[in-house]
Structure 1
Amino acid sequence: MGTIFLYEIAGTAMLILLGVGVVANVVLGKTKGNGGGWLLISFGWGLAVFAGVFVAFKTGAHINPAVTFGILASGAEEYAPGIAVNFGNTIAYLAAEMIGAMIGAFLAWAVYKKHYDEEKEAGNILGTFSTGPEVRSYGWNFVTEVIATFVLVFVILLFGETPHELGPLAVGLLVVAIGASLGGPTGYAINPARDLGPRIVHALLPIQNKGSSDWAYSWVPVAGPIVGGVIAGVASQAFV
């Protein structure tokens, strides 16, 4: 389990540092990337996944509880060489992903600390840490996250059947595609740790004008991706 903790914490921290960082660069005032737009955010998150997968390669680079649950639901006995898919290892993955997400969010805040100090819009501050819907409808927001995460985990599991050196790049480009195509309604969390870890950090940090952490919505980017990941895991069995 030590290997799982080390690599998954590091990989997830890298993912969130770069992911939260690109949103902060686009949304916060007086940054070099201010106003860069949705495509910059989508590409930034895709490349963040690319980096995170490389860092966590020894554990199969889950860096996402939805992927962990998807692998468990797929019936796989082993996903990364030498690491069995079982209850104990699953708990280790989930814990490491949450810890890494919180570390990454804290580091991104440290990079943009002075910009956060000057930001007046609470929505912009929370939006750098966590996702939120453009049209709030919890049921349909949930459906969006289920579908988007299904695409992510289903393709990852099928890709895993044909290992290739371009794996990290392929997953990164998949995340860009999901962001560009399916990310508009909710900001595409597609990763419970990606949303919940930074949301907790947002609640804890002493950021001026930060406002609410929007806990009323927080269940959507956690439950939706888990359901989408499990469905993808079950569906992938028909293609093995």
Structure 2
Amino acid sequence: MHPFLAELLGTALLILLGDGVVANVLLRHTKGHQSGWIVITFGWAMAVYVAVFCVSFYSGAHINPAVTLALALVGKFSWSLVIPYVIAQLIGAMLGAVLVWLTYKKHYDEQNSPDLILMTFCTQPAIRHRFFNLLTETIASWVLILGVLYMAKPDIGLGAIDALPISLLVLAIGLSLGGHTGYAINPARDLGPRIIHALLPIPNKRDSDWSYAWVPIIGPMLGAVLAAATFVLVGH
């Protein structure tokens, strides 16, 4: 499988299962309605596990522009591949969001809360304060990327054996650091589905909250830079 296609597929699987568990918990009349934060965090962790395990052999399973940036910054990934990987990740995230919508189409039709509809696509903060929202995303992403850097292979990224440790890392981040912003920790994970939310003909939906959209993009990228700096300064 070509690395571009692998990153697209991996990110699509990530969003399908990750946003899928959010839809299952938040949308009306689903079997998992109101099953809570533990279900969401565990579902996202398993989404990471599946995505990394499926495509790691072909692309290193970055499935996150912040991971791609950090690996390039520390010399574990070619700068010439950064933009193609990010494009593949964004397209994959958009595809995954469309698949979630198709899966839960009848439940979206029955949902009367515009905010809950938006939350099944992208993150929204529990308390809106852009400085602290940005700080939270930066810290959570620093933890994620630092873990990835220490687990990543020296040539390209993650291997299949790393799928479980990475998924447990994401579970820990969600449980410990995710309550403020919803832990995007991945620009493609937030931006791709947000674009799809804006485009889809969903009844009762609101605007896509573009005034907040920069936070889950900039925060993870800042976290990636800080993690790369930590990795280099502390040693490896």
Normalising by structure 2, we get a TM-score of: 0.95
Checking the alignment, whether the CA contact within 8 Å between 1:158 and 1:239 is kept in structure 2 is no
1: CA distance, partners of 2:161 / 2:168 = 11
Equivalent AA in structure 1 for residue 17 of structure 2: L
2: CA distance, partners of 1:171 / 1:133 = 24
Checking the alignment, whether the CA contact within 8 Å between 2:52 and 2:160 is kept in structure 1 is no
1: CA distance, partners of 2:74 / 2:82 = 13
Checking the alignment, whether the CA contact within 8 Å between 1:131 and 1:195 is kept in structure 2 is yes
Q: 1:138 aligns with which of 111, 130, 134?
A: 130
Which position in structure 1 is the counterpart of 2:235? Answer: 239
Which position in structure 1 is the counterpart of 2:21? Answer: 22
1: CA distance, partners of 2:55 / 2:207 = 33
**Matched residue of 2:171: which SS?**
helix
Which position in structure 2 is the counterpart of 1:92? Answer: 84
Equivalent AA in structure 2 for residue 155 of structure 1: G
Checking the alignment, whether the CA contact within 8 Å between 1:4 and 1:92 is kept in structure 2 is no
2:55 matches 1:59:
no
Checking the alignment, whether the CA contact within 8 Å between 1:65 and 1:94 is kept in structure 2 is yes
Checking the alignment, whether the CA contact within 8 Å between 2:55 and 2:61 is kept in structure 1 is yes
Which position in structure 1 is the counterpart of 2:167? Answer: 172
Offset at 1:164?
7.3
Higher mean displacement: 163-172 or 7-16: 163-172
Offset at 1:119?
0.3
Offset at 1:56?
1.8
Offset at 1:72?
1.4
Which position in structure 2 is the counterpart of 1:214? Answer: 209
1: CA distance, partners of 2:10 / 2:103 = 18
Q: 2:114 aligns with which of 104, 122, 131?
A: 122
2: CA distance, partners of 1:164 / 1:116 = 36
Checking the alignment, whether the CA contact within 8 Å between 2:25 and 2:36 is kept in structure 1 is yes
Which position in structure 2 is the counterpart of 1:148? Answer: 140
2: CA distance, partners of 1:68 / 1:161 = 13
2: CA distance, partners of 1:21 / 1:167 = 23
Which position in structure 2 is the counterpart of 1:49? Answer: 48
> How many residue pairs align between the two structures?
231
2: CA distance, partners of 1:94 / 1:166 = 23
**Matched residue of 1:136: which SS?**
coil
Checking the alignment, whether the CA contact within 8 Å between 1:4 and 1:96 is kept in structure 2 is no
1: CA distance, partners of 2:213 / 2:137 = 12
Checking the alignment, whether the CA contact within 8 Å between 2:67 and 2:145 is kept in structure 1 is yes
Equivalent AA in structure 2 for residue 103 of structure 1: L
- Tell me: CA distance 1:204–1:165, structure 2 relative to 1, closer, same or farther (3 Å): closer
**Matched residue of 1:129: which SS?**
coil
**Matched residue of 1:166: which SS?**
helix
Runs of 4+ in 1 over 3 A off after TM superposition: 161-166
Equivalent AA in structure 2 for residue 101 of structure 1: A
Which position in structure 2 is the counterpart of 1:13? Answer: 12
Q: 1:202 aligns with which of 197, 206, 218?
A: 197
2: CA distance, partners of 1:51 / 1:166 = 12
Equivalent AA in structure 2 for residue 33 of structure 1: G
Offset at 1:75?
2.5
Equivalent AA in structure 2 for residue 75 of structure 1: G
2:74 matches 1:74:
yes
RMSD: 1.4
Checking the alignment, whether the CA contact within 8 Å between 1:72 and 1:233 is kept in structure 2 is no
Offset at 1:114?
0.2
2: CA distance, partners of 1:164 / 1:191 = 19
